[in-house]
Structures are given as C-alpha cells and as structure tokens.
Amino acid sequence: MSDTPPNGPGDKAGRHGPTIRDVARLAGVSIGTASKALNANGRLRQETRDKVNEVALQIGYRPNDMAQSLHRTRSMTVGVLSTDSFGRFTLPIFQALEEQFADQGIAIFMCNATDDPARERQHLDQLLGKRIDGLVVTARRADKRAPVGPLPPGLPVIYVYSQADDGDALSLLSDEEDGARQAVNHLIEVGCTRIAYLTGPEHFEAVLQRKLGYHAALAEAGLPEHPGYYLSGKWSEAWGREAVAALFDGAGERPDGLFCGNDQIARGAVDALRERGIKVPEEVAIVGFDNWEVMTSAARPPLTSVDMNLSALGHEAGRLLIGMIGGERLRGIRRLPCTLVVRESTKR
C-alpha cells in the first residue's frame, strides 16, 4: 500500500474530510463492511478488519461523534413509510436517505402502504417493533394527510413530499409554486405571450401550487390571462391530447406556449401538435413538470421540464432526522427549490 493513497484528504473527496465511502472504496469493500470493521462488530475476517482500519488511519478518517454516541444508545435503524407503489417519487428520496445515513451506520427499513390505512397501521407496528430511531413518511403526492400514529413519545418523524395536517409536524416539500413560476418565465423569455396551463385534477395540492406560480409569472410580466387557457383534467398523455384539441381546433386565439402540470400531459400535447402539423418549439413552446426521464427523453422533441429535486429532499430529510434523533426539535413546512431543465421543446 502506497504512502499517499489516491483521492486522499487533499483532493475533491477530502475537502470536507474523508468519509466512510472513501475508506470503503480504497479498501475495496462495501460501505457496510467498512462500517462493521471500524465499529468492531459483525463477522469479518481479521485481514479485512485490519485493511479497513489501516486505510482509515492512512487517510485520516474519523467516525462522526454523533454517530458514535448514537451507536451506544440507539438501534441505528430508521423506517420509511410510503404510499407510492410505483416508486416514481419515493425511490429518489429513499436512495438519497441511504446515502445520507451511510456515514452514520444507520440502516433503513422501507414499507409501502399503497393508501391503505389498515396496511399502513400494520407496517407502522412492524417498524415500531424494530425500535426504529426515526420515521420518514413519504408519498406519491404532496397533499395533506392525517398524521401517522399513534407513535411512541419523542419518536422523530419527518414527512417528505408529503405533509401532515398537524402544526407540530415537520414537512419537507418541493417549492412547486416557484417551479411553475420558473417554467412560465422561461416560456416568456423565449418569446411566448399567450401561455396556457394544462394540468391534472384541481383538488391536488400540486395543481393549486403550480397554478399560483402560473398566475404570478403572468402578472409580473404584464401578460393577460386568456379565457379558456386554464384546462384541468387527468394526469395522462390522453388528457394532453384532448386539451390540445380544445385549444387548437376551435375558432379562438391559439396559445404560443404550453405549461403542462406533468410530463405525461406535456408529451401528449407534443404528439397532438405534431399530428396537426404545428411545430414545437417554433410555433408552440412546451414545458412539463417532474423531469421524468421516461417522458422527457421519449418526447419528440425532448421536453423542457421542472425538476422537483427529490434527491435533495431526501438528503435534507436525512440531515434533519439525524439532528432530531440527537435531540433537536423541528416543526413546520420547509420548501426546497425546484430546477428548470431546458431541452429542445423550448429552444427557439
């Protein structure tokens, strides 16, 4: 083993101090194996333990003090309770949580309740039976829900891409109003002056938040809200095609920009415009929402879309939950910024 390991404290990985990921990579083992070796637990060959500890010493890795104290007093497990059966919204959050907890030696148990209260209660009982140190509640939509419970006193809980109807709860959400504002502002910047909003059912929190951003952006730019330019339907490509028919097959003034409430609606709209010989983005520019690669890359042209940065939500949730396990008291609603990802559907 050389005296100066690659990727040591002086390079990019080391600017914030070496992590357990660096130890695992340089020792040629998994993060879990590195954690067992450094914490002197688990069943490992002595040769592996020695190698991991030698690498840790060589690059100056020091286990996090909070993690060490938690090891002495906690189960080092966290539960994730989801209603997202497809994983479209939950998986990026879950993966980010895993990354955030890796250096702390915290394991995650994930359960899917699929909007079934009885199943959720069963999963919650199972998680509590494992003596979890904290709980993350997430969903496939950000609508308000009844608080999870009953829970043991003092158990830290964070709602992520979900929000509890409880003033004492902590909820982390994407700032969808600002995401919509970014989308409409971008359409205005590329020259659109007649912008329609095609979206899903009005009772969804996402629809309402994005509608606020849509109205705000038009007002700030001094653009009128044309009658009939707000169309609410299903979260589907079929609805995107129906909405285009309503806007472009009649005698009214046609929009030159479409802000769509999700990427499925946007892709349906793109297909419907192409069938009518209307060029995107030359004649009509289109922005979607969610930045779902399955939709954005398959559309022709590829879709500009708003990314809700679900991974950032997961990382922030992990960071905050570690603090709450350590005794911090947090509450309220926190909204993290969205990001506009520009592609060919708006490049004029």
pLDDT digits (tens, 9 = 90+) for 162-185: 999 898 999 999 999 999 999 999
Q: Compute the distance between CA of residue 109 and CA of residue 124 in angstroms, rounded to an integer.
A: 11
Helix or strand or coil: residue 333? strand
Confidence of residue 190 (pLDDT cuts 50, 70, 90): very high
The pLDDT of residue 68 is 53
Confidence of residue 10 (pLDDT cuts 50, 70, 90): very low
Beta strand 304-307 with 339-341 is antiparallel
- Please report, in angstroms and rounded to a whole number, the separation of the first and last CA atoms in the chain: 55
Q: 113 pLDDT exceeds 50?
A: yes
Q: 66 pLDDT exceeds 60?
A: no
Confidence of residue 22 (pLDDT cuts 50, 70, 90): confident
Average pLDDT over residues 77-93: 87
CATH of domain 69-173+310-336: 3.40.50.2300
Q: Tell me if 113 sits within 8 A of 120, measured CB to CB.
A: yes
Helix or strand or coil: residue 30? coil
Would you list the domain boundaries of the chain?
A: 12-63, 69-173+310-336, 176-308+341-346
What's the alpha-carbon Rg for the chain, to the nearest Å?
24
Q: 191 pLDDT exceeds 90?
A: yes
Average pLDDT over residues 140-155: 88
Confidence of residue 47 (pLDDT cuts 50, 70, 90): confident
Average pLDDT, the chain: 88
Confidence of residue 15 (pLDDT cuts 50, 70, 90): very low
Residue 306's identity, in one-letter code, is V
Token pair recorded at residue 18: 């070496």
Same fold, 69-173+310-336 and 176-308+341-346: yes
Q: 3 pLDDT exceeds 60?
A: no
Cβ neighbors of 10 (< 8 A, separation 6 or more) are: none
Q: 40 pLDDT exceeds 70?
A: no
Q: 20 pLDDT exceeds 50?
A: yes
Q: 60 pLDDT exceeds 90?
A: no
344 — phi, psi (to 5°)? -70, -20
Q: Tell me if 282 sits within 8 A of 322, measured CB to CB.
A: no
Q: Compute the distance between CA of residue 337 and CA of residue 114 in angstroms, rounded to an integer.
A: 27
The pLDDT of residue 4 is 37
Please count the CA atoms within 13 angstroms of the CA of 15 that sit on its side-chain side: 3
Token pair recorded at residue 53: 């500890």
Choosing among 3.40.50.300, 1.10.260.40, 2.60.40.1180, 1.20.1630.10, the CATH entry for 12-63 is 1.10.260.40
Residues in the chain, overall count: 348
216 — phi, psi (to 5°)? -65, -45
Please count the CA atoms within 13 angstroms of the CA of 282 that sit on its side-chain side: 4
Q: Tell me if 265 sits within 8 A of 244, measured CB to CB.
A: no
Q: How many CB atoms lie within 10 A of CB 121?
A: 14
Helix or strand or coil: residue 341? strand
Choosing among 3.20.20.70, 3.40.630.30, 3.40.50.2300, 3.40.190.10, the CATH entry for 176-308+341-346 is 3.40.50.2300
Read off the pLDDT of residues 199-245 as tens digits, 9 standing for 90 and up. Answer: 999 999 999 999 999 999 999 999 988 989 999 999 999 999 999 99
Instruction: Give CA separation, 44 vs 32, 34, 107, in Å.
Output: 11, 10, 18
The pLDDT of residue 11 is 41
Confidence of residue 13 (pLDDT cuts 50, 70, 90): very low
Short-list 5, 64, 52, 342, CA closest to 185 = 342
Short-list 223, 155, 150, CA closest to 188 = 223
Read off the pLDDT of residues 267-325 as tens digits, 9 standing for 90 and up. Answer: 999 999 999 999 999 999 999 999 999 999 999 999 999 999 999 999 999 999 999 98
The pLDDT of residue 5 is 39
Q: 51 pLDDT exceeds 70?
A: yes
Q: 256 pLDDT exceeds 90?
A: yes
The pLDDT of residue 57 is 83
